[in-house]
Structure 1
């Protein structure tokens, strides 16, 4: 098959309605908008939670691991309950895009309304009212200052920092002082993700060369909290 034919086939797979499915079970929560359920990785559609390596500022201007907190709040809210998810298609990493319910409650809505995710993508209007409620109540991320998750992934000195209240004058220096984070955001997030020849490669603490990887060398490097999270977002384990 030609390269053009391969790309066409991949596009057809991603957009095909045959990817639609109804899933049910107790999920494994990988981050604030990614779960595993019935051996399927599902990306909550239409919302963006902070990356697990993301750092925000609280109401007093102090740094906190908001990405890990968003994931943990979803785990707490789930509390081992059964989810029902409806998926529609696959994203670029092969994750099923969908929305989920816990006992009839829309999880996507709960994440945005509680301030742990933003309304995003082509469906942004669907959750924008819930985002307004969260910002008005200074809930979750809106309690302080933060970078939108899609901007965090490609942040630079010109990246905009947002918040429901006034953004501290030193917010840019604190959040963007070292654009790749030299230290993990949480003691549990020790996996190093690096880019090599256009590939996303992750390195575990006990692998050879792990200690020699400087996480401030280049953009695109990030800390990951689990192998499942890494693999679900397109990272491949280093061979050595």
Structure 2
């Protein structure tokens, strides 16, 4: 009974108007899904962009760091301008869920129509037409082949690879191989994330004793991060040593 009361209270807090707010400012871009304004982390709602360590195939069937490219596209689009965000609710990592605008343009919609994110979640229909536009224009991720961001983390041999045009024959080998993330997706993304048997998420930075002991081709190795702030925004905690 006590557990049920606590859960009901938590849900009431999440659904309350307190979680709804307006924030304005020039954001720090943590990844293509997440920004930070005035020390408040906001997860762009209604869309799903690749995480910074996701790898895709380009128009020539070669591997490229599409997650880093998506993040950098958002950084370039922002270009130091002021964002106006309306938040409503929080996700499981404690990030506020928000719709954001720059000079009146819907950032969430821009990410999808530019091909750097897919329409997703309960409000997926809101950005579906933007996704069709991006697909038809072979924009961003649609210029080659890729795994949908929500399938990337749990990918296996049966994971479907999509693209606006034909998917290369070697796509399965290139995007589903166990050694895919043996090297960081970018020289700037060298933080290692691990998940232990209890589900504890820990990140390890260069210079820590544990860092060199982690083989990213084997469990519990999980993913690469580009910054400690990004790792913490995704629910990881710094390793003790």
Matched with 2:52 is 52
TM-score w.r.t. length of structure 2? 0.96
Matched with 2:223 is 222
Q: Deviations over 1:114-157 (max 9, x none)?
A: 00000001111110000000000000000000000000011111
Q: Deviations over 1:71-116 (max 9, x none)?
A: 0000000000000000011111110001000000000000000000
The SS at the match of 2:142 is: helix
- Alignment of 1:5 with 2:11, yes or no, is no
Pairs aligned (count)? 240
Q: Deviations over 1:202-230 (max 9, x none)?
A: 00111012111111212770001111111
Matches of 2:162 and 2:88, distance apart in 1: 31
Matched with 1:17 is 17
CA contact (8 A) 1:155 1:179 kept: no
TM-score w.r.t. length of structure 1? 0.96
Q: Any gaps of 5 or more consecutive residues in structure 1? A: none
Following superposition, which runs of at least 4 residues in structure 1 exceed 4 angstroms of deviation?
none
CA contact (8 A) 2:112 2:118 kept: yes
The RMSD of aligned alpha carbons is 1.4
Matched with 1:153 is 153
Q: Which has the higher mean CA deviation after the structures are superposed, 178-187 or 44-53?
A: 178-187
CA contact (8 A) 1:193 1:223 kept: yes
CA contact (8 A) 2:192 2:221 kept: no
> CA shift at 1:193, angstroms?
0.4
Q: Which has the higher mean CA deviation after the structures are superposed, 12-21 or 124-133?
A: 12-21
Matched with 1:142 is 142
> CA shift at 1:48, angstroms?
0.5
> CA shift at 1:180, angstroms?
6.1
Matched with 2:240 is 239
Q: Deviations over 1:155-207 (max 9, x none)?
A: 11111000000000110100011266211111111000001221111001110
> CA shift at 1:38, angstroms?
1.8
- Alignment of 1:79 with 2:79, yes or no, is yes
Q: Deviations over 1:30-61 (max 9, x none)?
A: 00010001211000000000010000000000
